[in-house]
Structure 1
Amino acid sequence: MKKKTKGLRSLKIILPHILRYKWRYIIGLVSLITVDVLQMFIPLLLKNYIDGLKAGKALQEIYMYPLIIVIISASMITFRIIWRINIIGTSRHVETDLRDTLYSHLLKLDSEYFANVRTGDLMAKLTNDIQAVRMVAGQGILISTDMIVMGSLSIFAMFHLDARLALMILIPLPLISVTIYVGGKIIHRLFNKAQSIFSDMSAKVRENVDGMRVIKAYVQEEAQIKEFQEINDGYYKTNMRLAMISSLIEPIVRILEGGVVALVIVYGGYMVIKSGLSLGSLVAFIGYLLMVIWPMIALGWVINLFQRGAASASRLLEVLDVEPLVKDEENALDVKDIKGKIEIKSLSFSYKRNVRHALFDITLKIEAGSAVAIVGQTGSGKSTLVKLIPRLIEPDRGSIYIDSIDVRDIKLGTLRKFLGYVPQDLFLFSDTLKGNITFGADDAMDREIYDVSKAAGLWRDITSFPEGLKTFVGERGITLSGGQKQRVTLARAILKRPKILILDDIFSSVDADTEKEIIRGIRTLATSEKRTTIIVSHRLTSLTWVDEIFVLDKGKLIEKGNHEELMKRKGLYYKLYQKQALENELKG
Structure 2
Amino acid sequence: MLEMFKYLKPYRWQLVLVFVFQLIAILFELYLPTLMAEIVDVGIVNQDVPFILRTGGLMVVCGIMSILLMVGVSYFAAKVSLGFGRDMRRELFVHVEHFSLQEYEKFGSASLITRTTNDVKIVQDVINMMQRMMTRAPLMLVGGIVLAVSRDRYLSLVFLAALPILAFIIFIVAKRAIPLFSALQQKTDRLTLILREVLTGIRVVRAFNRIDYEKKRFNLANDDFRDTGIKVGKLMALMFPIMLIIMNFTNIAIVWFGAIRIEQGEMQVGNLLAFIQYAAMILMSLIMLSMAFIMIPRAQVSAKRLKEVLQTKPIIKDPEKDTELKSCDGIVEFKDVTFRYEGAEKPVLEGISFTAKPGETTAVIGSTGAGKSTLLQMIPRFYDVESGSILIDGVNIQNMKQSTLRNKIGYVPQKAMLFSGTIAENMRYGKEEATDEEIHDALETAQASEFVQKREQGIQSILEQAGANLSGGQKQRLSIARALVRKPQIYLFDDSFSALDYKTDSKLRYALKTETSNATIIIVAQRVNTVKDAEKIIVLNEGKIAGVGTHEELLNNNTIYQEIVSSQENGEVSA
**Structure 2 residue 570 is matched with structure 1 residue 583:** yes
Shift of 1:573: 7.1
Q: Structure 1 residues 459, 278: closer, same or farther in 2, change over 3 A?
A: same
1:559 alignment counterpart: 547
Q: How does 1:273-352 map to 2 (within 5 A)?
A: 273-333=263-323, 338-352=328-342
For residue 137 of structure 1, what is the amino acid of its counterpart? I
d(CA) in 2 for partners of 1:478, 1:199:
26
Q: Distance in 2 between matches of 1:89 and 1:327?
A: 36
How has the CA–CA distance of structure 1 residues 585 and 20 changed in structure 2, closer, same or farther, with 3 Å as cutoff? Answer: closer
Q: Where does residue 400 of structure 2 map in the other structure?
A: 410
Alignment partners' CA distance in 1, 2:389 and 2:84: 42
* Cα deviation 1:82-140 (Å, max 9, x = unaligned): 22222232011111111111122222112223334443322321222112222332212
1:161 paired residue number:
151
Deviation (angstroms), 1:259: 1.5
How far residue 188 of structure 1 moved from its aligned partner, in angstroms, is: 4.7
Unmatched 5+ stretches in structure 1: 1-10
Give the whole-Å Cα distance in 1 for the aligned partners of 2:572 and 2:258. Answer: 105
- Between 112-121 and 387-396, report the one with greater CA deviation: 112-121
Q: TM-score if structure 1 supplies the norm length?
A: 0.90
State the 1:185 CA deviation: 4.7
Match of residue 372 from structure 2: 382
* CA distance in structure 2 between the aligned counterparts of 1:399 and 1:353, rounded to whole angstroms: 21
Aligned counterpart, 1:58 = 48
Q: 1:167 to 1:17 in 2, by over 3 A?
A: same
Aligned amino acid, residue 112 of structure 2 = L
SS in 2 for 1:364: strand
The superposition leaves residues 4-52 of structure 1 with CA deviations (integer Å, 9 ceiling, x where unpaired) of xxxxxxx133122112211211121121112122222211121222211
Q: Separation in 2 of the partners of 1:431 and 1:174?
A: 62
Q: What aligned pairs does 1:165-244 form with structure 2 within 5 A after superposition? A: 165-244=155-234
Residues 335 and 90 of structure 1, relative CA distance in 2, 3 Å threshold: farther
Partner of 1:373: 363
Q: Which moved more, 1:283-292 or 1:196-205?
A: 196-205
The offset of 1:419, in angstroms, is 0.8
The answer (yes or no) to whether the contact 2:325–2:395 under 8 Å persists in 1 is: no
Amino acid at match of 2:490: I
What's the counterpart of residue 535 of structure 2?
547
Q: How many residues end up aligned between the 2 structures?
A: 575
Q: Which moved more, 1:505-514 or 1:133-142?
A: 133-142
Q: State the secondary structure of the residue aligned to 1:163.
A: coil
- Asked if structure 1 preserves the Cα contact closer than 8 Å seen for 2:181 and 2:301, the reply is no
d(CA) in 2 for partners of 1:297, 1:177:
10
Among residues 485, 492, 511, which one is paired with 1:495 in the alignment?
485
User: 2:156 matched to 1:152?
Assistant: no
**Higher mean Cα deviation, 146-155 or 47-56?**
47-56
Distance 1:447 1:416 in 2: 24
Which region of structure 1 is more displaced relative to structure 2, 31-40 or 230-239?
230-239
Q: What is the identity, as a one-letter code, of the residue corresponding to 2:69?
A: F
Amino acid at match of 1:535: I
**Contact residue 335 and residue 410 of structure 1 kept, 8 A:** no
- SS, match of residue 130 in structure 2: helix
Instruction: Choose 374-383 or 300-309, whichever is displaced more.
Output: 374-383
Fraction of identical pairs, as percent: 27
1:268 aligns with 2:258: yes
Secondary structure in structure 1 of the residue aligned to 2:516 = helix
CA–CA distance in structure 1, aligned partners of residues 573 and 352 of structure 2:
36
Which of 247, 261, 267 is matched with 2:237 structurally? 247
Deviation at 1:366, TM superposition (A): 2.4
The answer to which of 558-567 and 108-117 deviates more is 558-567
Superposed CA RMSD in Å reads: 2.7
More deviation in 538-547 or 479-488? 538-547
- Distance in 2 of aligned mates of 1:484 and 1:450: 15
Residue identity matched to 2:96:
L
Q: CA deviation at 1:305?
A: 2.1
**For residues 586 and 76 of structure 1, what CA distance do their matches in structure 2 show?**
85
Whole-Å Cα distance in 1 between the matches of residues 2 and 113 of structure 2?
22
CA contact (8 A) 2:546 2:560 kept: no
SS of residue paired to 1:323:
coil
Q: TM-score normalized by structure 2?
A: 0.92
Query: Relative to structure 2, which stretch is displaced further, 515-524 or 440-449?
Result: 440-449
Is the 1:29–1:145 contact (alpha carbons within 8 Å) kept by the matching residues of 2?
A: yes
Is residue 459 of structure 1 aligned with residue 449 of structure 2?
Answer: yes
Which of 16, 24, 30 pairs up with 1:40?
Answer: 30
* Aligned-partner Cα distance in 2 for 1:573–1:110: 33
Whole-angstrom distance in 1 between the partners of 2:129 and 2:325: 49
Task: Give the conservation status (yes or no) of the 8 Å contact 1:375–1:538.
Answer: yes
- Structure 1 SS opposite 2:500: coil
CA distance in 2, matches of 1:472, 1:561: 44
Matched, 1:397 2:384: no
Check whether the contact 1:422–1:504 (CA below 8 A) recurs between aligned residues: yes
